Structure 1
């Protein structure tokens, strides 16, 4: 094979996680209208699969996004993430996915010992595999197309990751997504990691990279060179932890470097503006460790255990860690924000009051200081 032929080999299928990953970036909340506009433009561009919403159990808060996307592009062109924590929780989440008309699910399963210990209460590789097999088999019995993930897979040792992936395909999964949840790999390291997975018989592999080190597109292309068939991206690279692989840069790289003309790039500027407008991020989203969004969180677990999510600490680059949230308020999140002031506050009542207050005032962005100030106002009522 000549060098020219080699450089034109990749022709990956593209999934886009703007309506899931970007939608759960701290402080970002798309509505049903945003979902319709973004999903329509994604499909017109040639994106094969629109990932939308997160389902962890009954009454998903992302139901409106999911239903709007289904109405716009159809459930066959979309996929929803299902959180995996235990068997009972997975069963209730799959029931909710069925209620919403979801046909394809992506199981979010933490594979590194650090993330498994935090989220599954056990770092055991045996337990991880058993839980994944049960989730996959339950989903296939219900008729879903199943992608299963390796959340924090980039930091998961191969002797733990490869058997897990092989077991997932043996259980009937259709695709595996390696999530570079914490950006730590170079393109050549990514190539090596993916090559071990594509060597598994019957495997179909997807790469989902974050851009804290500025290599999400390069790592995605390296994964495809190693045999991955899918790349997951987001519009404008909008997302947590330095952002994701930006769709426009990815598609233009495929065209320039690999001669890939399958995609209609004429929609990209409108698509980027639609996503930025819906996300409330102004005219542009900048990725990397020095941005205002790089170390912003809206989940109490991320704020309590930042080392599990950060490529490097915020202080190392002169940045700061902060809370950003609109309406996804929870009692643990409010408790974290109030800190030493929490014991003197009725957290259930205050959280309920603040949720209503946010909705009535147009969902303003809250940080820890704003929550503390709101608590003072609440206590004076």
Structure 2
């Protein structure tokens, strides 16, 4: 998607947001349109298409799995999941690939959305500390007075950062979250000493290490690492939509689930090098193909093998959000309404 088109989507989403806030999860959802070939058109916004945590989206496109299902998947890109969420609620896109935690946060705000395919069973995130701060910041307890990079305010990286602060005794306001995006903008924020630490994903992690700018502090690229940091299984990247869109367009949702489940199976049966060969070259231009493959090799286990929500995942995510998010803390959240396995089970 061109920069101009991304900007147009963002502006339109912001303009329509006021109207969306009065609709519980987009209650005015319409029947999905079809293109001239009869394929169902679905506009999907991703919180960073070139991030490895969202790799299944472009992979499904390049493998032809959307097309095979009769889906005209129109992919667009935003650097932070919170911006994609806003665009969907404003009716500018039909679906989002972002972190599952947004569904819980949105329900606490009166919005009805659901995850229908779970792409990752671990966050794939790493808290990176600037190299010259590594002797000072040895745990999240040392975040006091520091500037911490996140993709966007209200993003999942922001959620996880705030949880690490709360868990380690850092009070609200004692650390400052700075929205720095991912990729080159995140690297620049480290290089220019705009932030002392920050949470990001591959291939940004490898870019930082390659340049000697930062070192890992907390690694959540594996299920084990996520459990150690967050207290349990933490499902992250997923395909989610407003509940009204799902109810209005079950055929389109099933076709999307079919494509993603097939993609997850393909990932399990192929090597990181083979997966990388299916990615656009500009996705690894910043680090080089070999480094990209190695990064993918280190975290390939984060991808769900079947798209099913882990049974203990939603409660872990609710526990994390309840530790710091005032809109979630102390409120009753019906986790059963934040996800469904029905579509992936039928796809299997």
TM-score if structure 2 supplies the norm length?
0.25
Highest RCO, 1 vs 2 (Cα 8 Å, sep ≥ 6): 2
More helix by share: 1
